[in-house]
Structure 1
């Protein structure tokens, strides 16, 4: 009887050893200062890959980030690794987007807009672009995913940096 209790206790111990009370890993939490280091690094890497580059669109891609950069009237698509540490490729676009003119009017760059949005609503960047709000104000439209996976849109005034 005692040996069967020991065997049962041993089996239970082994079964529980593989269990954890920790929740499964989810999306990376934003940095404590409200920033999201990977997209910030990716934005900076993309802007730096093109002389005089100004980022105006950021999206997730299969292997990292696809970032559109304006430079000297030309549009460039720059692919950057997920951690933002490496430019994976770039190409000049044949037909530039109308958003290129918008980014030239912005006083707030993509990094500052992302940081302002995350200060208001902490979350992981999903996508962002510069565009006109319905009232004609130039804004950064920032899509942030919260800890539960729900995406929230935050508009940041591209002239003042204020969250709208």
Structure 2
């Protein structure tokens, strides 16, 4: 084992744990599902309860898959999609910096997930143990393609922006 195995493992563990924490917070934190649903509704997403549960399952699911190194391009796609939606709906209008509620943080998580899809999960993963090798352009392309298609679908079906959100 060398650094090329340690680096993707560290990325998977940290991003995976971060996604699980976000999912658990949307589920059990402060306002629980009802509060998360109201927040999503305030962002212009219809059926906030459905969106809240979808967020919980997507974030926790992607986090678990990343930690295990299983289905890595698809797990990365889920992270990228969640960050795209968050960036577009909750952070874009606030500029770049996170201390102004900007998109800095979600951009970093999305790019790290995309980079991980390109380099793969490393040898310390279920993907590697099972002989599943989808890295390079294929891994990155799958992750980005699935993320963009799913984000576009979610926004087309459920987002009804308030007038100030379209400016």
Q: TM over 0.5, yes or no? A: no
TM-score (norm 1): 0.25
Counting strand residues as a fraction of each chain, which structure ranks higher?
A: 1
- Rg larger in structure: 1
TM-score (norm 2): 0.25
Q: Which has the higher contact order (CA 8 A, sep 6+)?
A: 2
Counting helix residues as a fraction of each chain, which structure ranks higher?
A: 2
